[in-house]
């Protein structure tokens, strides 16, 4: 049997320190309500950079799972027919009306320095919104949103960034 003694004075043995990273906390405080009129029941509407353009009146909807782009925005972005792919499911509008989508398109959404690609369903219908972003976008961005606070918060470059509703 061999026994090896290791001296604690040996310069090659330095105590290892664990790197402790402080996790980012994505949450909302009372201070996050500053600048909003309380109480309110407003939807969260933001401006996003979609397909290289600043797009106003984008609804953030946590309760839906399908991103929507309305035909006016589709036309405004100068997209081509070859950019579209087929989409064969029916959608039900907020008012309960059945809508047949035109097609589907994948577009980049830039939030600050972060870029997320999203599959939008192109809908030929009137809406006061130009687009709707939903859970897939929020999840891809690792974001949380709050209608009450009129903000979206997301981690980016080791910080919590926020997008304020307008």
pLDDT digit string (tens) for 101-114?
879 999 999 998 89
Domain of 57 in residue numbering reads as 41-164
pLDDT digit string (tens) for 2-58?
444 444 555 556 666 666 667 778 888 888 888 888 888 899 999 999 999 999 999
Q: Burial-class residue 88 by CB neighbours within 10 Å (0-12, 13-18, 19+).
A: exposed
Phi, psi of 73 (to 5 degrees): -70, -40
| 22 found inside a domain | no
pTM: 0.80
Residue 151: give its domain's CATH number.
Answer: 2.40.70.10
Q: What domain count does the chain have? A: 1
Asked if residue 82 lies in contact with residue 95, where contact means CB atoms within 8 angstroms, the answer is no
Owner of token pair 């307008």? 166
């Amino acid at each position: 049997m061999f026994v090896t003694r290791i001296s604690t004075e040996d310069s090659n043995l330095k105590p290892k320190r664990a790197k402790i990273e402080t996790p980012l906390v994505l949450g909302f405080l009372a201070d996050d309500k500053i600048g909003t009129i309380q109480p309110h029941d407003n939807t969260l509407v933001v401006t996003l950079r979609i397909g290289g353009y600043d797009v106003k009146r984008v609804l953030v909807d946590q309760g839906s799972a399908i991103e929507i782009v309305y035909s006016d925005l589709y036309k405004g972005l100068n997209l081509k027919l070859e950019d579209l792919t087929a989409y064969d499911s029916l959608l039900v509008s907020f008012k309960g009306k059945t809508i047949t989508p035109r097609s589907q398109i994948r577009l980049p959404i830039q939030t600050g320095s972060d870029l997320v690609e999203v599959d939008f369903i192109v809908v030929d219908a009137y809406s006061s919104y130009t687009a709707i972003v939903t859970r897939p976008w929020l999840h891809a961005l690792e974001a949380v949103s709050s209608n009450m606070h009129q903000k979206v918060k997301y981690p980016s470059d080791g910080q919590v960034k926020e997008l304020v509703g307008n």
